[in-house]
Chains A and B, each alone.
Chain A
Amino acid sequence: MRRTVVEASIVLVISLATGLVANSRRASGLPLDTDPRHLVMGTDVELVGIAEARRAYDEGAVMVDARANAVFARGHIDGAVPLSPENLDADYREWWEFIPTEGPVIVYASSAEGPIAAARARWLIQMGHKGAVVLFDGYEAWEAADLPTAAGEE
């Protein structure tokens, strides 16, 4: 038994050493401090969890819905501004004054559409809304946490 534990420890050390060296030398290697959520999002835009988003919402942060119009109409975060993929320019022209350039802006989509929300946040940052971040968990988590929602087009 003791010999098995010693052998297992040797295997463990050899594997970890091999992994660390190979990862640092390979082109496809990943820095170990990479935030895996950024890999999911496909961008390094800042991400917030549901608790942080709720706190910011209570303090007046603007929520931006990056989902399609029809999905938005079925249910969205109460007070959210729609920036739908199909009418992005028109929506932005209609709502841009409500989106602060300095203050917090939280962009969300469905939980499966994280990269869409991240792309929209990056677009908003390019348009000058520097405080744009992404709700990583998506609308479903907001709904599941029983936080304020509304239905309808606006």
Chain B
Amino acid sequence: MTGVVIGRRRASGLSRVLRNPHVGLLLRCLVGGVFVYASLDKIQHPDAFAQVVLGYRMLPTLLVVPFSVLLPYLELVAGGFLILGVLRRGSAAVITALLTVFLVAITQAIARDIDIACGCFKASAGGERLAWETLVRDIALIAAAVAVIRTPRTALELARRSRYP
């Protein structure tokens, strides 16, 4: 009984921290910054990134180039919007969806023992290799993105809708 009460207190304590608008701003900048940074090299080198995506052996060959070309812009726009506080929940939801797709892709590649570059921040095949640490980082970012969706408001949002609670 005591454990349940302490657990609730802890949960409510964490929830209070996450609802703090400044913590929300920090999480927005962290997740958004990671995504904007991750998009830049891929936008510069779509051909190299397409080869990394092909290496995951998840997509039909026909879809590899359209995915490789468009994904970095999705990362750039969603990440940029999140930092600025424009369409905050929608941007965080897109990022959560992307991170979930990455989670599946990385897990299946590790499970199939495919030794390839992650393609997370560098488009080239010589970048960071896939590892369990990549998964942990992905899960941490999902948690942060979900917190950004759930928090009622965050500080310094460029376009906050007054109808939000």
Residue positions of A touching B, CB distance < 8 A:
3-12, 14-16, 18-20, 22-23, 28-37, 39-40
Contacts and interface: CB of A to CB of B under 8 A. Distances in A.
A37 to B, nearest CB: 7
Given A11-B77, A15-B77, A4 B70 contact: no
Given A4-B149, A9-B90, A11-B78, A36 B54 contact: yes
B81 A37 contact: no
Interface string B37-79: 0000001111100110110000001101110111011101110
Contact of A30 (B47, B73, B77): B47
B101 to A, nearest CB: 13
Contact of B87 (A11, A23, A32, A36): A11
B contacts with A: majority SS: helix
B53 A5 contact: no
A11 B67 CA distance: 16
B54 A30 contact: no
Contacts of A40: 51, 54
Contact of A15 (B46, B68, B78): B78
B69 A18 contact: no
Given A11-B77, A16-B70, A36-B68, A30 B46 contact: yes
Interface of B: 43-47, 50-51, 53-54, 61-62, 64-66, 68-70, 72-74, 76-78, 81, 87, 89-91, 93-94, 97, 149
Nearest to B125: A40
B66 A32 contact: yes
Given A11-B87, A19-B73, A36 B51 contact: yes
Contacts of A3: 89
Q: Is the interface of A mostly helix, strand, loop or mixed?
A: helix
A30 B90 contact: no
Contacts of A14: 77
Contacts of B74: 11-12, 15-16, 19
Given A19-B74, A28-B46, A29-B69, A12 B54 contact: no
Contact of B81 (A5, A6, A11, A31): A11
B77 A18 contact: yes
Pick from A9, A11, A33, A40 the residue with the most CB of B within 10 Å: A11
B53 to A, nearest CB: 7
B70 A20 contact: yes
B41 to A, nearest CB: 12
A16 B73 contact: yes
A15 B76 contact: yes
Given A16-B74, A28-B46, A37-B61, 11 more contacts: A11-B90, A12-B74, A14-B77, A15-B76, A15-B78, A19-B72, A23-B69, A34-B50, A35-B61, A36-B53, A36-B64
A88 to B, nearest CB: 26
A15 B77 CA distance: 6
